[in-house]
Chain A
């Protein structure tokens, strides 16, 4: 056992507690700057540590509760980058001025929880990680206590999230009942060797786990909370939920379905495929009808979860590889879109409406380009990152004899052009921009926007090395079973 592999997780969770403490310092200036600074330093350190450990052999720590393989390390880096971006987006958020400690501390604890999900070696740690990031997010959503929409979002998220967790943990309990172990790698053997595959117990467990994780990943029909909560929460937190929660939920999906439960592939393949198809269709159609940017991005996030589920349904190394690559691309493009919304929201009243973006491309070409790149990539225009990711996902589905699912995905992408291109058209429309104030955008938001937009291009440009990285991570996972 080697506890040093825990460092990325320990650094981030430790910094989370430290940031909470620094937030109550009597010196106002220190209390405002230090928590965020601590967070950024810690997250950079976590990225460096996971880079350092990358070459090494796979290790387990804490009695096989914590797995440190390439999958963990890759996701740790993605999650840490998301954390930095969110801290920067919230940097000058007026509403967080007197709650900087809570803001930064809870974001860090949430990132730590997501890292724990990625590294989970037992169902106990998987559940603990999911709860750590969920509970932190419930508070973050409701942090603007004077705004009733924020409170409402927090309470709704808490109740729906808790129901999802309750169903998930019952499924995990039944899985323990079926296999007699909570260790994911042993579960695999119990499910393959035993002739209990046709038993009701594993099937019931499987159903509940899919439902529970469906709530977290906001898959249709468990997505109803998504638009409300995304709309009501502070926008930097919405960006965090859209990216971080998605990454963590799919980390849980991959750890369970593409690894431990692979022996039951024939049982879950069709239900997950149907879930993916319904999510793609409903998410894209609902997104067409949304007037607000945040709600539109919420439904677009639902649809994107559907594309990612296609990769899970493929149940192959190629599928997991595609999911990991698409998560990279998805993070970059969603973060870019939300950075523009954050900026616009502070400048004008009702800044989260699509109409508020009118003429932004002409008055501020840089922001216009960022928004255009994000939207085109989300829609899957070649040669951007979103296109390559979708191509890989659909390709994995075709290889796994799920051609119909790939077709559904392609149809969904076509529907999505309707709302993504509308935003692009509005942004480059001529005419006076909506009351352009003299408010200066904080540099941190501009940095996030530009870096995310650059990442959309770079993820596509360096697709080859990145895909090697992703397939390294995927291979370590599924290496134990020869399919």
Chain B
């Protein structure tokens, strides 16, 4: 009985689904980074990149049956939160100064 329950838990979601979802999220994130010009949406796309890594980490953690991946995912979540806080702060500061949110209009510095 116990063994059966264990088997059901292990076969819950196939490992390939984790990888598939994570690759999809990563692709959407990269597309967003490349196409969007609004800093808020850029930050959102970056979040997708980081969360794609989280899904992959959790999936691999189940595959290898150790907790390294879950610890890594927790760290990534904290880092993502910190990055967004600073990103939003900067966006607000820029908005106050120029009332426009488009990175293509930020041309005082030209690469």
Contacts and interface: CB of A to CB of B under 8 A. Distances in A.
Nearest to A175: B60
Given A174-B56, A228-B111, A148 B87 contact: no
Given A155-B90, A158-B87, A180 B53 contact: no
B97 A159 contact: no
Interface string A138-180: 1100100100110111111011001101110110111011001
8 contacts: A149-B109, A158-B87, A159-B87, A165-B50, A170-B53, A176-B69, A183-B68, A228-B109
Interface residues of B, number: 44
Q: Which 6 A-B pairs have the closest CB atoms?
A: A166-B49, A180-B64, A177-B60, A228-B109, A173-B56, A162-B46
A124 B75 contact: yes
Given A163-B33, A182-B72, A131 B79 contact: yes
B75 A127 contact: yes
Interface in B49-94: 49-50, 52-54, 56-57, 59-60, 63-64, 66, 68-69, 71-72, 75-76, 79, 82-83, 86-87, 90-91, 93-94
Residue picked from B71, B103, B108, most chain A C-beta under 10 Å? B108
Given A124-B71, A127-B75, A180 B66 contact: yes
Contact of B75 (A128, A183, A232): A128
Nearest to B79: A131
Residue picked from A138, A183, A227, most chain B C-beta under 10 Å? A138
A166 B46 contact: yes
A185 interface: no
A151 B108 CA distance: 11
A154 B50 CA distance: 20
Contacts of B56: 170, 173-174, 177
A166 B60 contact: no
Given A152-B108, A154-B90, A135 B83 contact: yes
B111 A148 contact: no
A170 B55 CA distance: 10
A483 to B, nearest CB: 28
Contact of B87 (A123, A162, A228): A162
Contacts of A166: 29, 46, 49-50, 52-53
Given A128-B79, A176-B60, A231-B109, A158 B86 contact: yes
Contacts of A33: none
Given A145-B93, A156-B106, A166-B29, A124 B72 contact: yes
B68 A181 contact: yes
A313 to B, nearest CB: 26
A481 interface: no
A222 interface: no
A165 B26 CA distance: 13
Contacts of B106: 152, 155-156
B70 to A, nearest CB: 11
B39 A155 contact: yes
Interface string A251-281: 0000000000000000000000000000000
Interface in A113-133: 122-124, 127-128, 131
Given A123-B72, A135-B83, A149-B108, A173 B103 contact: no
Given A154-B90, A155-B91, A158-B83, A127 B76 contact: yes
A225 interface: yes
B6 interface: no
